[in-house]
Structure 1
Amino acid sequence: MPARLRWASALCAVLALALGGVLYATTTGARDTWDQITRHEAPQVTDAGALYQALTDLDAQAANQLMFGDDLRLTTNLATARQQYATDRTDADRDLQQATLDASGNAAAQTALAAILDGMGRYQDLAARALELDSHANATAGHPDPAALADYRQATDLMRQQLLPAAHSLVQANDQAFEQSYGDERRGLDTAGLWFALLGGGLLVAVVGTQIWLAVRFRRVVSPALAAAGVLVVVLLSTAGSFLGGEGQDLSTARKDAYDSVVALTQARAIVADSNAAESRYVLDVGRRAQYQADFVTDTDQVLSLDGAGLDTYDSALATAVARLKENPSDVGFGGEYGREFRNITFPGEREAATHTLLAFQAYQVDDRKIRALVTSGRLEDAIAYCTSLAPGGSNADFDAHDTALQSLIGINEKAYAAASATGAHRADSALWLQLGCVAGVLALVGLGAAPRLREFR
């Protein structure tokens, strides 16, 4: 009988220690995952997106400067473009340095960075030479110096064929690393749940079984210590289940609900900036207007695609889609990055911000058709003035309004991501000591419950 009691106590202890080991591994693993996500992987995606954005706007501002020429009426616009060009160049250099530091251990990111580093210096040299040649030639608005235009064509081809695809690949590589960590942790939580059920259930059965056996063999109704141990096991299982469920929910909120939208919207912002550059190139370079119009259409479809809509029917199709969406928020009749966002509306204020962004995008698209109509009718100077106008209703003013609305929408999702990450990390920290304390309590109580009976055999 004492040997059996020792074996029963030992079984409870082994199960409790095994459960404690799983609890420790799960909580520390969750904490490490949150550290990896919040300190490395999510910032890496953000840094790559910022680089993508800076590169697209850099080329747009180079095109704008060439487009303005030495027209005195556009002096203010020229100064603004020069200032923004300098800012974009500084931002791109800083983001590139940060992305280089971030890329350690990520082969796909390193490959993308190598392509950017290889082309960045050459792009800046070509763009700088084009701007200098055009300035010295005193070219008029919309009629750039031929040599300057030739250099700019090389620069923008390099941007679109090498730098921007590499920047996009960099975003994807970092985002895939984030997704990998998310998937690994979700699978880890699922596995931990299975072990919790097996070990915790086994421990509860062992403690209750020992209690029943003692009651029968020793004519005692209940052992207070073992009863308390059983209650503590139930508490432990309850807190572990709550921990697993909460961690899984916070991971899903941070990654799927929030950061999936952050990635989609950040890419949309960069692509819209590239479409703005394609619009400027269309006005600037008569020899490549068909190519740059096609680039604008491609960019627009990546941001918000409408089945079967061409440039001549896009506005009416978008107006119909917007009207249907207002009537029924679940009727998302478009694809692209904005389609991804509207199918992932989750947080308070997000739908209103997304709708505001959509309407601003719609206004910017209408402006584009006005610009092309002015160019087609031979009113090139008017097209340039409207294309770069910051006055209310001007194309650049509407572009900025859309960009502001889009950043606000991104901010809602970034805030939700930060909140879920903070909650998940805090839960992992607090759960570790609570759960290990419960395990230690079970061990102590099992020992206290068995010790008096064992002493009876001495």
Structure 2
Amino acid sequence: MPAVIEATRTMARRAVRPETPARLRLWVAVTILTATLLLAGLSLLMARVQDQVRIIGDEAAPQAATAADLYFALSDMDAQVARMVLTAGDDALAGSQIDALGTYQERSRQVDADLQKSLTTSTTEADRAAVLTLLDHLAVYRERVWQTLTAGDAAPGYYTQATNTLHLDLLPAAQALRDASEQRLSDAYAGKRVTQVLAVTVAIVLGGALLVLLIALQVWLARRFRRVLNPALLGATVLTVGLVLPAIAVLVLQGQRLGEARDDSLTPFLRLSQARAVSYDAAADTSRYLISSRLAYYDDDFKKKSACLSGTDCETALPVVAGGPDVSPFESDQVVSRWQAYARDHQKIVALAAAGKNDEAIGALTGIKRGDAAFDFTYYDAAVGEIAAARKADFDRAMDDVSTLMTGWAVIPLVAMGLVIVLVPVAVRKRFAEYR
């Protein structure tokens, strides 16, 4: 036993003696190990960030957009049914009825496509169950609509059943699906941020440690062997700096770009989709008011939705969601002023109906000249649609930019650190030869 202890002490003394090859071997081993850890950690984390960016751009964001579009399409479907009921049997309004039928069929196809897309992209059993529930409610709603359109004079009663099915069953289920998709989007962003922070930490800690080892080894070799510069170690140092600094920059830049894309483009786009759904449902309240023979509930409901859209009493007021940091107040005010024009049309229609002038009220609702409800609503919706399309395009461009920025970064650490791992032994090979 004493012999073993003495041998161990002898080996330890030789290892720490600066003039021995053991010290050099230890230094090289630690340097290569650090480079290997940096290679593995940065490559895996960069690949993970790339995958999370793909999930945001190809899965989470489209799912949220699809759910928002579904809610909007359902709202407009019911608005078109109300128009068909209101214009039924009046030859003078045949054009408006045909237009409403065509729009209803278009929105119906849109709903089917959104539900199919949601079903195929669902990642949880809860989401699939929600979509199947929506399909069941949609079948009931369509049956009620068919009864409404074929019931003749009894159409208002069947329409009440149809719109109740929409508001009590379909829209709440669609809203739950929309909320779940937006939560998934937030979770995807949060997960990517955690990976991004971890990757930056690995780059700083391991990259810094590797630089210290390479520089210290360069200095030690210069002092011990009187070599002023070691080209291989210099190359390894340059490669390390050339990897670590750009990697940190890429991670920070993609995080900033994605954050801006979410805050300035995607979130406003989703809120605009929500606002459009509210506005279509509010416009349908004008028709519902006439269909129900001036039921005050629909006028009150319109006023609540209009207050939301005008920004006076709603958590997602239109001036907020329609604008954004890079949109001038004029564009936001323009959207609001166009909605307020429709709100005035609604009040005029309510007043005409209250005075017993139903035909004039229907004419003011379905007319296509400026000052008529149909014209003013289309004018308003064009402004909202233009801003929403711009927001969506901005987000898509940001995702393309981030994908381009991240291209190759799962492989770049492998190449750079692979060269460093080769260069370090090359740098000390001749020094080992001096001890033979």
| Structure-2 residue corresponding to 1:345 | 325
| Structure-1 residue corresponding to 2:422 | 444
Instruction: Give the drift of 1:411.
Output: 1.3
CA 87–259 in structure 1, closer or farther in 2 if over 3 Å, else same: same
4+ residue runs of structure 1 moved beyond 4 angstroms? 349-353
Equivalent residue runs for 1:41-440 within 5 Å: 41-103=60-122, 105-134=123-152, 145=153, 147-286=154-293, 289-307=295-313, 335-341=315-321, 344-346=324-326, 353-440=331-418
Distance in 2, Cα, partners of 1:91 & 1:224: 65
CA RMSD after TM alignment: 1.9
Distance in 1, Cα, partners of 2:404 & 2:129: 36
Structure 1, unaligned stretches of length 5 or more? 135-144, 308-333
Distance in 1, Cα, partners of 2:159 & 2:299: 17
| Structure-2 residue corresponding to 1:313 | none
Contact 1:304–1:335, Cα closer than 8 Å, also in 2: no
Distance in 2, Cα, partners of 1:22 & 1:302: 49
Bigger Cα Rg: 2
CA 55–74 in structure 1, closer or farther in 2 if over 3 Å, else same: same
2:337 counterpart letter in structure 1: L
- Number of residues of Structure 1 aligned to a counterpart in Structure 2: 417
> Please, what TM-score do these two structures have when normalized by structure 1?
0.86
Contact 2:72–2:277, Cα closer than 8 Å, also in 1: yes
SS at match of 2:409: helix
Distance in 2, Cα, partners of 1:87 & 1:168: 21
SS at match of 1:15: helix
Contact 2:46–2:410, Cα closer than 8 Å, also in 1: yes
Instruction: Give the drift of 1:158.
Output: 0.7
1:194 counterpart letter in structure 2: T
> Please, what TM-score do these two structures have when normalized by structure 2?
0.90
Structure 2, unaligned stretches of length 5 or more? 1-19
Instruction: Give the drift of 1:87.
Output: 1.9
| Structure-2 residue corresponding to 1:330 | none
Distance in 2, Cα, partners of 1:350 & 1:180: 31
Distance in 2, Cα, partners of 1:28 & 1:236: 15
2:287 counterpart letter in structure 1: S
2:418 counterpart letter in structure 1: A
2:299 counterpart letter in structure 1: Q
Distance in 2, Cα, partners of 1:352 & 1:101: 41
Contact 1:301–1:336, Cα closer than 8 Å, also in 2: no
CA 303–435 in structure 1, closer or farther in 2 if over 3 Å, else same: farther
CA 339–353 in structure 1, closer or farther in 2 if over 3 Å, else same: closer
| Structure-2 residue corresponding to 1:321 | none
Residues 1:22 and 2:41 are matched in the alignment: yes
Instruction: Give the drift of 1:107.
Output: 4.2
Contact 2:273–2:388, Cα closer than 8 Å, also in 1: yes
Distance in 2, Cα, partners of 1:406 & 1:258: 14
Distance in 1, Cα, partners of 2:308 & 2:125: 26
Distance in 2, Cα, partners of 1:395 & 1:209: 78
